[in-house]
Amino acid sequence: MFDAPTEADVLIVGYGPVGQLLALLLADRGKNVTVVEKWPQAYPMPRAVAFDGEAARTLTAAGIGGLIGRIGEPSGSYQWKNADGKILLDIDGSERKLCGWPESTSMYQPALEEELQARAATLENITVHRGHQVVGLTTRPDGAEVTAVGEDGTERTFSARWVVGCDGANSFVRSKMDAGFSDVNFSHDWLVCDVVHHDGREFHPNNLQICDPAQPRTSVSAGPGNRRYEFMRTAGETVEGLNTRESAWRLLKLFDINPENATLRRHHVYSFRAGAAETWHEGPLVLAGDAAHVMPPFAGQGMSSGFRDAGALAWRLAALLDGRGGSELLDDYQEERRTHIKHAIGMSVNLGKIICQTDPKAAADRDMVMLAAAERAAASGIPSQQRSPLQPLARGFVKLNEKGRPIRPAGVLSPQARVERAGETGLFDSVVGLGFVLLTTEDPEQLLDPADRAFLDELGAHVVRVVAAGTPAGEAGPHAVVDLDEVYLPFLAEAGATSVLIRPDFYVYGAAAGRANTAELVAAVREALSEARVPAGV
């Protein structure tokens, strides 16, 4: 165990949005968090411009959900058109689906980071050291020590039981691990232009990719009042020649933008990559966000994937710090997240190959195939199905069968919809609370024996009975939730279950039917979180 004194439970290297979110999720679990960030001030311009519904759910868990409308807007339609303006692909990101939030939210990243940092500043168990460049990292049996140099040249040493690298694609933490990195070898240079319009124009669609082989380009929302335009570097153009204000204004003319009707706030050429670390944890060192993976922007999954990392990691580190579980928890984190990232990168690269095509003949072939698919979908009245970045967990911290495969619905992301309890109406997470949740159609007093109930209470789990919409308050019971949107009872029925155990990151651990089966489910979680297991890093 960890007997030596430490400065923090968790030290986070890097204080971008993933590090900020992870710090909040850990602090809300009562853990002491130290953050070391090399830049004295937060970067003032946006990088990412959107996050998905699952990310919105996790941000809400970190206490800023009510502010999302201020820093973001539903992304709305996301269209891909060819050079002739014909629609190749049309995705609606405004719908509220599985997580109770829009499928995609376009946001202004500096505003999001301000909200995350402002909340962190109110928590006494988060300490942020800005302007400190990490130059050394050593591990020891009870944790790790991080050496950093401040702006004045003073060297300081920080210690913690766990160190999480959230320090970007060129991660110092990753460089100190035997992590490896698998590169997909798909990279292009793009000129990014952040623009504020002054002419009151509206955008239909709100987000647009123009798959023009002569000049692939993008126009997307970057949150209320902000706009992002991107232009791919084409043959014969140098990075230096592209990265000028003159080039930016020249290319912005393709969208009828000029200095008279807009302000160019920033222009910068970036080169996207696609790949992921092969190892995500080693002893007391763990990776998250861009330190663990990078991908093209075309599926909007870069920041969202980092937020998934934070959600999946926070409860595991808290469990380890509480003496529950062992290195298997972080093995599962690595397995779950690498599998999901592989899918997200593949999806992003495939979309990138569509828009980055500069060969006219290949682009014409692409258009023919995609337009034919769109016509078939229109004729059938059934929208063409797009691959989703959301994938069920194939392994990891879920209930597995004898062949090592999840027993569905184990591994799926649990739905979130409106419920009502004791006169309070809202989304499930807000009404019920965060942490493990045992959701059941049965009376908890009859369902669980005293030992199982005591274990769940010790775990901080919420045991919740769900009843049908329209159930009189007197029959529902004081702790039951009413399924206002008729989501949870059908979810359980489809699974053939009366109970489902949901993890703190909203993924289903497993389901059960009846008292005996539920006891087996609780026993499996108790074993997986057994204090007898040796914590990772020891």
Q: How far apart are CA 176 and CA 283, in angstroms?
A: 12
pLDDT at 6: 55
pLDDT at 307: 98
| Residue-averaged pLDDT of the chain | 93
Mean pLDDT of 303-321: 97
pLDDT tens for 501-524 read 999 999 999 999 999 999 999 999
Residue with tokens 């769940």: 456
Residue 71 vs residue 438, higher pLDDT: 438
Residue 538 has pLDDT above 70, yes or no: no
pLDDT at 500: 98
Mean pLDDT of 24-48: 95
pLDDT tens for 117-144 read 999 999 999 999 999 999 999 999 999 9
Per the structure block, which two tokens stand in for 345?
Answer: 């990168």
pLDDT at 235: 95
Domain 418-528 of CATH type 3.40.50? no
Share of the chain above pLDDT 70, in %: 96
The fourth-level CATH superfamily of domain 8-65+108-182+276-352 is FAD/NAD(P)-binding domain (3.50.50.60)
Residue 178 has pLDDT above 80, yes or no: yes
Characterize the bridge pairing of strands 217-221 and 207-211: antiparallel
Characterize the bridge pairing of strands 481-483 and 462-468: parallel
How do the domains of the chain map onto residue ranges? Answer: 8-65+108-182+276-352, 418-528
224, 225, 228: which is closest to 73 by C-alpha?
A: 224
pLDDT at 380: 74
pLDDT tens for 453-473 read 999 999 999 999 999 999 986
Mean pLDDT of 293-315: 96
pLDDT at 515: 97
pLDDT at 195: 98
Tell me the residue length of the chain. Answer: 538
Residue with tokens 């942490």: 435
Q: How far apart are CA 306 and CA 501, in angstroms?
A: 24
Residue 257 vs residue 326, higher pLDDT: 257
pLDDT tens for 194-233 read 999 999 999 999 999 999 999 999 999 999 999 999 999 9
Residue 382 has pLDDT above 80, yes or no: no
Residue 258 has pLDDT above 60, yes or no: yes
Q: Is the fold of 8-65+108-182+276-352 the same as that of 418-528?
A: no
535, 117, 21: which is closest to 311 by C-alpha?
A: 21
